[in-house]
């Protein structure tokens, strides 16, 4: 009889491990979101007066001088020849349109120009979805921080938003 119960015991243990892991992820998720490099002026409550206002990102975008300086620093840190400067743009991992921190080094990375247009389209789609209330700001930030290529699941030319996987906060 124990042999018949053994698979059930193993299944039960696996289910318990899965529940514990899910609980830990759910408990730490807000901490993860809080640790992202974001602009403290942009919250779910303030989006109507910040990121959802046309042209708002221009008011917080770092100067061309500052971005050029950071871009050179990153090229040197990666030990790449400075001739490659023109192959990259300085990108905000969490875009300014989602309230990413404008000058936080954790939010800045070199992005090949051939990827820039695709990521910009995902950023624009997520921003429209946040402003339309189809997705919460924190969720959009987590998605794009994790992997921008998958962050825009549901985004396409004819779709202004993404499927909601949690309620806006």
Which residues span the domain enclosing 8?
Answer: 1-35
Scored b (16 or more CB within 10 A) or e, 67-82 reads beebbeebbeeeeeee
The answer to whether residue 48 scores a pLDDT higher than 80 is: yes
**Same domain, yes or no: 141 and 97:** yes
Looking at residue 161, its pLDDT comes to: 46
Domain co-membership, 63 together with 25: no
Query: What one-character-per-residue DSSP string does 89-133 give?
Result: EEEESS-GGGTB-SS-GGGEEEEEHHHHHHHHHHHHHHHHHHHTT
Q: Are residues 44 and 27 part of one domain? A: no
Residue 50 structure tokens: 């910040």
Evaluate if residue 82 carries a pLDDT over 50.
yes
Q: Name the pLDDT band for 31 (thresholds 50, 70, 90).
A: very low
Same domain, 31 and 42: no
**Whether 78 and 147 share a structural domain:** yes
Mean pLDDT of the chain: 81
Domain match, 44 and 126 both: yes
Rounded to 10°, the helix 137-146/2-34 angle is 110
Please say if the pLDDT value at position 55 is more than 60. yes
Check whether residue 18 and residue 94 sit in a common domain. no
Backbone φ, ψ for residue 88 (5° rounding): -130, 155
Are 70 and 112 in the same domain?
yes
Condensed to tens digits (0 to 9), the pLDDT of residues 125-159 reads 999 999 999 999 999 999 999 889 888 887 754 44
The token duo for 133 is 């209330």
**Residue 25 or 76, more confident:** 76
């Amino acid at each position: 009889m124990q042999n018949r119960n053994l698979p059930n015991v193993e299944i039960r243990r696996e289910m318990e491990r899965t529940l514990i892991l899910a609980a830990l992820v759910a408990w730490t998720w807000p901490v993860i979101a809080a640790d992202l490099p974001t602009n403290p002026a942009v919250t779910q409550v303030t989006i109507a007066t910040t990121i959802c206002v046309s042209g708002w990102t221009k008011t917080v975008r770092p100067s061309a001088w500052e971005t050029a300086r950071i871009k050179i620093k990153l090229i040197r840190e990666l030990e790449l020849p400075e001739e490659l400067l023109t192959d990259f743009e300085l990108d905000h991992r969490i875009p300014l349109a989602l309230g990413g921190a404008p000058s936080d080094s954790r939010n800045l990375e070199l992005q090949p120009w051939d990827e820039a247009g695709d990521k910009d389209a995902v950023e624009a789609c997520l921003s429209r979805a946040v402003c339309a209330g189809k997705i919460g700001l924190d969720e959009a930030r987590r998605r794009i921080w994790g992997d921008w290529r998958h962050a825009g699941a549901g985004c396409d030319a004819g779709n202004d938003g993404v499927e909601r996987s949690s309620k806006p906060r």
